[in-house]
């Protein structure tokens, strides 16, 4: 009997987060990746959902092709507290022994994953930008180190589950279809002690659409833009090309750009067809956030700037002259 | 109030362009790059100093690093910490986050009672942001990540703000606890020449594995659950064709290309 159970149970688990009644995209991206990865292992894929009153979210998750949804529905799981979530997941993993456990590198995911890995005494790779699974079921996680200037492939040979957090936007979003899997209800045994802190308020800004995630054109500015006034040129160029504005870290620190516009290791991942980097040097911690555009353009006054090692076309000179000229030329050529 | 600040010496970020990959051993060569305090750890120490200013008490710096990083600990002592403990042993080398967190947590146990352990949310080199939460797990105390505000009271819980996507959570939490801070929490103070002189006499103790009760076999390169299977430099994806005309000329070339590709 126990052997039969082993063959049916899912070996790859994907933790699927939800926020304000909606599934968070990175969880769905990871479901698709897990389904693509399993290949020769033939492993089944489970989504794991924790929360309270989540039955409709469970139904929705089943439409993304998972074999199982493991659902823990408990009032003590309504507001995220890492110790209660760790206990629930550690008990389920201890009993069902998944080989792989993937989480999105969201605020919640990177809070939950390290404690869970320590509880399970297993290895965890952080903020991965790619995943591979060998035929024998070994997970290889590609992680950026040193702000993205070095990449490491990390394995976890001796302990299970092999855990990884993955940056949002790295993998493709799946389309929903007809549900195929089944739901298994985890029954966590939690008490008030597992709620080690009290969340007294949650503030979220209205979702401001930066449009970065879906933009075909991204124009990014860096430290060299210099002033908030100059930043207007970045906006204008993005606007005339129907694109979104991105930024490296310094413009965000200076207040020219908003935090949600930051691209790279500590920001978002974008997948534009055209990327233009203006007055930024081209450090890897920014560039790892740009997934292979068709055309990549750099504008920098230094012909030796690292950005030019990653571009198709480099415009060399003062962006304060080049960008207005470009805006004018684009207007002319497009007949506006 | 007894406060422990976990601090990591990291290679000076401004000199990372000098990092090289040894093509044969696939290890990172960081020779000649000086060490400095991990930037976020300065914010953790500043938070500790402010707690001590309000409530009194002691601040102990705790670091796991090679012995040659003692100057970095002196920098932290000059900022105002009372003493430092350096955990240094060849047996610790190559530990991943699990082993590192275990060593740090066993050192915390040796230090006795504490109210708060403050950490930077992540380091600038490895950047896994895992160690502080794992220290809390080994110590079986609550922890908060992405801490952007801390208010302590003499009696009762701390009021802490933590960053989440497009907002924050307000949380009440009781000591002992681990708090991992982000940049917004404060602005670290500058160190004066006077501070540096005053810090000369402060105690830095060095503990080896013999000074700690390390029973779990998870410390060091061989015992860590994760392995670095491969290390590589991201490929230079393209090599730009650099334009040489004046600003207007370059702009016209690009606009023309964008038009042909349908971008305008």
Quick: pLDDT tens for B68-92: 999 999 999 999 999 999 999 999 9
In a domain, A205, yes or no: no
Q: Give B244 to chain A, closest Cα distance, Å.
A: 7
Q: Does A165 lie in the same domain as A218? A: no
Is B175 a residue whose pLDDT tops 90?
yes
- Nearest chain B residue to A206 by CA: give it: B166
Tell me the Cα Rg of chain B: 22
Residues of A in contact with B167 (CB under 8 A): 202-205
Cβ of B128 within 8 Å of Cβ of A203? The answer is no
Q: How far apart are CA A164 and CA A152, in angstroms?
A: 13
Number of domain units in chain A:
2
Q: Does A149 lie in the same domain as A217? A: no
Is A321 a residue whose pLDDT tops 60?
yes
In a domain, A280, yes or no: yes
Q: How many CB pairs under 8 A join A and B?
A: 258
Q: Does A231 lie in the same domain as A151? A: no
In a domain, A36, yes or no: yes
Q: Does A262 lie in the same domain as A138? A: no
Q: Does A131 lie in the same domain as A11? A: yes
Query: Which pLDDT score, from 0 to 100, does residue A291 have?
Result: 85
Q: Does A109 lie in the same domain as A22? A: yes
Using a pLDDT cut of 70, give the percent of chain A over it.
96
Cβ of B242 within 8 Å of Cβ of A122? The answer is no
Q: Does A313 lie in the same domain as A184? A: no
In a domain, A207, yes or no: no
Cβ of B130 within 8 Å of Cβ of A314? The answer is no
Q: Give A306 to chain B, closest Cα distance, Å.
A: 9
Reported as a pLDDT band with limits 50, 70 and 90, residue A8 is low
Residues β-bridged to residue B37: B9
Q: What is the pLDDT of residues A70-92, one digit of tens each?
A: 999 999 999 999 999 999 999 99
Q: What is the pLDDT of residues B129-156, one digit of tens each?
A: 999 999 999 999 999 999 999 999 888 8
Residues of B in contact with A311 (CB under 8 A): 238, 240
Out of A2-6, A175-179, B8-12, least confident range: A2-6
Query: Which pLDDT score, from 0 to 100, does residue A244 have?
Result: 95
Is A49 a residue whose pLDDT tops 90?
yes
Reported as a pLDDT band with limits 50, 70 and 90, residue A5 is very low
Query: Which pLDDT score, from 0 to 100, does residue A54 have?
Result: 97
Residues of B in contact with A125 (CB under 8 A): 226
Cβ of B137 within 8 Å of Cβ of A123? The answer is no
**Residue A250 structural domain:** 212-333
Q: What is the pLDDT of residues A261-315, one digit of tens each?
A: 999 887 888 999 999 999 999 988 899 899 878 899 999 999 999 999 999 999 9
Identity of the residue in A117, A151, A197 whose CB atom sits nearest the CB atom of B171: A197
Distances (CA, A) of A328 to A237, A240, B30, B264: 10, 10, 47, 12
Q: Give A180 to chain B, closest Cα distance, Å.
A: 32
Q: How far apart are CA A205 and CA A207, in angstroms?
A: 6
Cβ of A155 within 8 Å of Cβ of B244? The answer is no
The dihedral of CA A263, A266, A271, A275: what is its sign?
positive
In terms of residues, how long is chain A? Answer: 336
Query: Which pLDDT score, from 0 to 100, does residue A7 have?
Result: 47
Model confidence, pTM: 0.86
Reported as a pLDDT band with limits 50, 70 and 90, residue A205 is confident
Q: Does A222 lie in the same domain as A305? A: yes
Measured CA angle at B176 (ends B170, B177), to 5 deg: 50
Q: How far apart are CA B53 and CA B61, in angstroms?
A: 17
Query: Which pLDDT score, from 0 to 100, does residue A3 have?
Result: 45
Identity of the residue in B131, B238, B247 whose CB atom sits nearest the CB atom of A322: B247
Cβ of A149 within 8 Å of Cβ of B16? The answer is yes
Q: Which residues of B204-227 are buried (b: 16+ CB within 10 A; e: fewer)?
A: beebebeebebeeebbbeebbbbb
Q: How far apart are CA A103 and CA A161, in angstroms?
A: 12
In a domain, A163, yes or no: yes
Is A147 a residue whose pLDDT tops 50?
yes
CA-closest candidate to residue A321, choices A194, A221, A233: A233
In a domain, A202, yes or no: no
* CB contact set of A317 (below 8 Å; sequence gap of 6+): A299, A301, B246, B247, B250
Q: What is the pLDDT of residues B13-26, one digit of tens each?
A: 877 777 777 777 66
Reported as a pLDDT band with limits 50, 70 and 90, residue A4 is very low
Which two structure tokens, joined as six digits, stand for B64? 């796991």
* CB contact set of A154 (below 8 Å; sequence gap of 6+): A123, A125, A140, A141, A142, A143, B226, B227, B228, B229
Using a pLDDT cut of 90, give the percent of chain B over it.
80
Is the confidence metric ipTM above 0.85 for this complex?
yes
Q: What is the pLDDT of residues B215-227, one digit of tens each?
A: 999 999 999 999 9
Query: Which pLDDT score, from 0 to 100, does residue A213 have?
Result: 83
Domain map (residue ranges) of chain B = 2-211
Is A252 a residue whose pLDDT tops 80?
yes
* CB contact set of A218 (below 8 Å; sequence gap of 6+): A212, A238, A243, A244, A245, A246, A263, A270, A272, A274, A275, A276, A290, A293
Pick the CATH number of B2-211 from 3.40.50.620, 3.40.50.970, 3.30.70.3340, 3.30.200.20: 3.40.50.620
Query: Which pLDDT score, from 0 to 100, does residue B237 have?
Result: 65
* CB contact set of B180 (below 8 Å; sequence gap of 6+): B44, B118, B119, B120, B121, B122, B129, B132, B133, B143, B144, B145, B146, B147
Identity of the residue in B133, B218, B241 whose CB atom sits nearest the CB atom of A312: B241
Is A220 a residue whose pLDDT tops 70?
yes
Q: Does A234 lie in the same domain as A280? A: yes
Most A CBs within 10 Å, among B28, B95, B169, to test the A interface: B169
Q: Does A142 lie in the same domain as A58? A: yes
Cβ of B226 within 8 Å of Cβ of A125? The answer is yes
Q: Does A224 lie in the same domain as A190? A: no
Last residue of a domain, one of A133, A168, A194: A194
In a domain, A271, yes or no: yes
Q: Does A171 lie in the same domain as A293? A: no
């Amino acid at each position: 009997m126990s052997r039969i159970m082993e063959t049916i149970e899912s070996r790859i688990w994907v933790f699927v987060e939800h926020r304000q009644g909606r599934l968070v995209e990175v969880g769905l991206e990871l479901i698709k990746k897990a389904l693509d990865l399993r290949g020769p292992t033939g492993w089944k894929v489970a989504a794991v959902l924790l929360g309270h009153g989540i039955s409709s979210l469970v139904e929705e998750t089943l439409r993304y092709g998972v074999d199982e949804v493991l659902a823990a529905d408990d009032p003590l799981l309504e507001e995220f507290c890492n110790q209660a979530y760790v206990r629930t997941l550690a008990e389920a993993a201890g009993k069902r022994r998944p080989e792989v456990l993937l989480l999105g590198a969201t605020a919640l995911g990177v809070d939950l994953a390290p404690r869970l890995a320590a509880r399970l005494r297993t290895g965890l790779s952080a903020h991965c930008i790619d995943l591979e699974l060998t035929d024998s079921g070994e997970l290889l996680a590609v992680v950026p180190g040193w702000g993205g200037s070095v990449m490491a492939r990390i394995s976890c040979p001796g302990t299970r589950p092999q855990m990884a957090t993955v940056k949002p936007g790295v993998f493709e979003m799946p389309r929903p279809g007809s549900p195929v899997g089944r739901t298994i209800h985890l029954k966590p045994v939690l008490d008030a002690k597992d709620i080690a802190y009290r969340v007294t308020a949650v503030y979220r800004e209205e979702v401001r659409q930066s449009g970065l995630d879906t933009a075909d054109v991204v124009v990014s500015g860096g430290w060299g833009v210099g002033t908030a006034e100059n930043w207007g040129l970045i906006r204008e160029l993005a606007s005339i090309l129907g694109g979104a504005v991105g930024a490296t870290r310094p413009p965000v620190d200076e207040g020219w750009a908003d935090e949600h516009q930051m691209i790279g290791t500590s920001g978002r991942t974008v997948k534009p067809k055209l990327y233009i980097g203006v007055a930024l040097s081209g450090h890897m911690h920014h560039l790892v956030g740009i997934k292979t555009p068709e055309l990549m353009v750099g504008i920098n006054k230094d012909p030796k700037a690292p950005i030019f090692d990653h571009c198709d076309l480099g415009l060399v000179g003062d962006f304060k002259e080049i960008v207005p000229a470009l805006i004018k030329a684009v207007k002319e050529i497009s007949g506006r | 109030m007894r406060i422990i600040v976990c601090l990591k010496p990291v290679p000076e970020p401004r000199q990372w362009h000098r990092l090289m990959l040894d093509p044969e051993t696939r290890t990172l060569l960081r020779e000649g790059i000086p060490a400095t305090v991990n930037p976020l750890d300065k914010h953790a120490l500043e938070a500790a100093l402010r707690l001590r200013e309000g409530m009194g008490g002691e601040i102990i710096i705790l670091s796991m690093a090679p012995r040659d990083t003692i100057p970095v600990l002196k920098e932290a002592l000059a900022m105002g910490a009372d003493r430092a403990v350096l955990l240094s042993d060849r047996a610790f080398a190559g530990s991943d986050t699990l082993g590192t967190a275990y060593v740090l947590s066993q050192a915390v146990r040796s230090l006795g009672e504490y109210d708060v352990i403050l950490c930077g949310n992540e380091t600038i080199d490895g950047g896994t942001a895992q160690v502080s939460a794992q220290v809390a797990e080994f110590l079986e105390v609550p922890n908060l990540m992405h801490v952007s505000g801390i208010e302590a009271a003499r009696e009762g819980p701390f009021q802490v703000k933590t960053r989440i996507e497009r907002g924050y959570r307000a949380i009440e939490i009781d000591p002992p606890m681990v708090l991992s801070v982000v940049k917004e929490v404060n602005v670290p103070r500058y160190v004066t020449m006077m501070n540096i002189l005053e810090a000369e006499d402060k105690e830095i103790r060095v503990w080896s594995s013999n000074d700690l009760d390390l029973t779990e076999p998870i410390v060091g390169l061989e015992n860590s659950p994760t392995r670095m299977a491969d290390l590589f430099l991201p490929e230079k994806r393209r090599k730009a064709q650099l334009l040489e005309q004046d600003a207007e000329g370059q702009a016209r070339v690009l606009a023309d290309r964008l038009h042909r590709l349908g971008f305008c």
